[in-house]
A = this chain, B = another copy of it.
Amino acid sequence: MKVVSHIHELKDMIKQHQKKQHSIGFVPTMGFLHEGHLTLAKEARDQNDIVVMSIFVNPLQFGPNEDFESYPRDMERDQRLAKETGVDILFTPDVKEMYKDEPSITMTVQKRTDVLCGKKRPGHFDGVVTVLTKLFHLVAPTNVYFGLKDAQQVAVIDAMIKDFFFDLHLVSVPTVREEDGLAKSSRNVYLSETERQEAPALYRALKKGQTAVEKGEHDINRIYQLVEEEILQTSGEIDYIDIYSYPELEPLQHLTGQVIIATAVKFSRARLIDNVIFHVPESGEKHV
């Protein structure tokens, strides 16, 4: 595995692979790798000639009161894990490399942003699409990999790729879960023992909502109640439970097409998010 922190080095390497017509799988991360990232890298490994991973804590996607400075970093461990997972090129630029000057042109996300977690993080997705535009141009990937645990991020990136005709394929990878269903997350270690026992209720609640819809329940309020009921049995505080179309993230008049049920729940020291995404056939369409 080659570790590069300068753009010109990365570009030289990419150029060599392009000459050989290699397919390039790209996994953009902010580092502090966990099993979610590694699952993305493994998928990229299986589907491409070479795998590029970037580790860049992007200041532009942190709000003024967010934790850019204290965001966890462990480059040594990350390098080891990336290498073990089969990453070929690890790109680790510093902030000056990625943002040399004050920007001349800014990007603003107008849709899919003012809901779910994005509602409380104004500007967050503007920072995400800006850094990804830069990274996509540098890495020139055939396939890019993102986890569906952050389903809103995937929805925004999907919009960006379609809007601007990026010539690449977005691979959204299902959430990796513990045996009891809890979505894997670096934040799970902050749960108390009791909370850890309660936490699988989030996924259970979401699946209960999904099952109800699949069995024919089409009253959104009723589904909302079913999900809420289950989560209320934990000691967590519900931040939101939302049901939208996916990936448009728009309110649903009718429960058809691709649907997301998503939730965020605050425990004492950790805020957990989870979601389920599933297809609801039109009436007339057959259930599969």
Contact = CB atoms under 8 A, between A and B. Distances in A.
Nearest to A103: B163
Interface in A127-157: 129, 133-134, 137-138, 140, 156
Interface residues of A, number: 32
Interface stretch (A32-40, A107-115, A267-275, A279-287): A107-115
A70 interface: no
A105 B134 contact: no
Contact of A110 (B7, B106, B163): B106
B134 A164 contact: yes
Given A134-B165, A166-B137, A111 B107 contact: no
22 contacts: A7-B165, A19-B21, A100-B162, A101-B162, A101-B163, A103-B163, A104-B109, A104-B111, A104-B159, A105-B108, A105-B110, A105-B111, A105-B160, A106-B107, A106-B108, A107-B107, A108-B108, A134-B165, A137-B164, A138-B165, A138-B167, A140-B167
Nearest to A164: B133
Nearest to A155: B104
A120 interface: no
Contacts of A133: 164
In order of increasing CB-CB distance, the 3 nearest A-B pairs are A104-B159, A104-B111, A137-B165
Contacts of A222: none
Contacts of A163: 101, 103-105, 134
Given A105-B164, A134-B164, 12 more contacts: A101-B162, A104-B110, A104-B112, A104-B156, A105-B107, A105-B129, A105-B159, A105-B160, A106-B110, A107-B107, A137-B166, A140-B167
A169 interface: no
A103 B107 contact: no
A157 B218 CA distance: 50
A77 interface: no
A167 B10 CA distance: 12
A266 interface: no
A115 to B, nearest CB: 13
Contacts of A11: 167
Contacts of A159: 104-105
A148 to B, nearest CB: 19
Contacts of A165: 7, 134, 137-138
